[in-house]
Amino acid sequence: MIELVLTIIGRDRAGVVAELADVVRFHEANWKRSELAEILGTFAGVVIVDVDDDRVDELLTNLLILRQQGLHITAEQIAEPVAAPEAAQQVRLRFTGDDRPGIVHEVSTTISDFGISISRLATVIDTSGDGEHHQFEITTELSVPFAVDLDAVLDAVGKLTDNMGIALHIEDVTGDAD
């Protein structure tokens, strides 16, 4: 059995996921995990599949056929699965405020300075305002190793948001809401 990471991007339209799933099923591959999204008319996603060694080449060939329907798909074999980190604290942080360049950079740098990887990041800008002042929202999901001082992380992020004049909402800390 071979584990593949598929990345998909193309114009969004009805049936994109069904077409991809059909190719995966036809080759008796197992769709293990995915993150798929539509953003401004573009479909993008990552899918992890398991496929028998003797079906890999056929699967890859049929995935290329989807290019004719406007999807660009890449596949990469996972040589060795990465071991999951030791138990970690799950934290969801939401940032809101007036939009401007550099916010994602500042937030992600502050988090990475503690050796923490962002497991999910979603951003959106509300453009329904007066045209000049747009509001942003960033949601991050973090797995903070127990060896990292979570209070120190939250203090550093809190100081950053205070300095930037943006709001911080701690939405989940290992099952607890603020």
Domain harbouring 45, CATH code: 3.30.70.260
Which pTM value belongs to this model?
0.79
Report the mean per-residue pLDDT for the chain. 90
Residue 175 clears pLDDT 70, i.e. is over it: no
Q: How confident is the model at residue 178 (pLDDT cuts 50, 70, 90)?
A: very low
Residue 81 clears pLDDT 70, i.e. is over it: no
pLDDT at 168: 97
Q: Does some domain include residue 83?
A: no
**Of 23, 57, 77, which closes a domain?**
77
Residues 72 and 101 reside in one and the same domain: no
Distance from C-alpha of 4 to C-alpha of 154, rounded to nearest angstrom: 36
Number of domains making up the chain: 2
Residues 60 and 40 reside in one and the same domain: yes
* The amino acid at 47: V
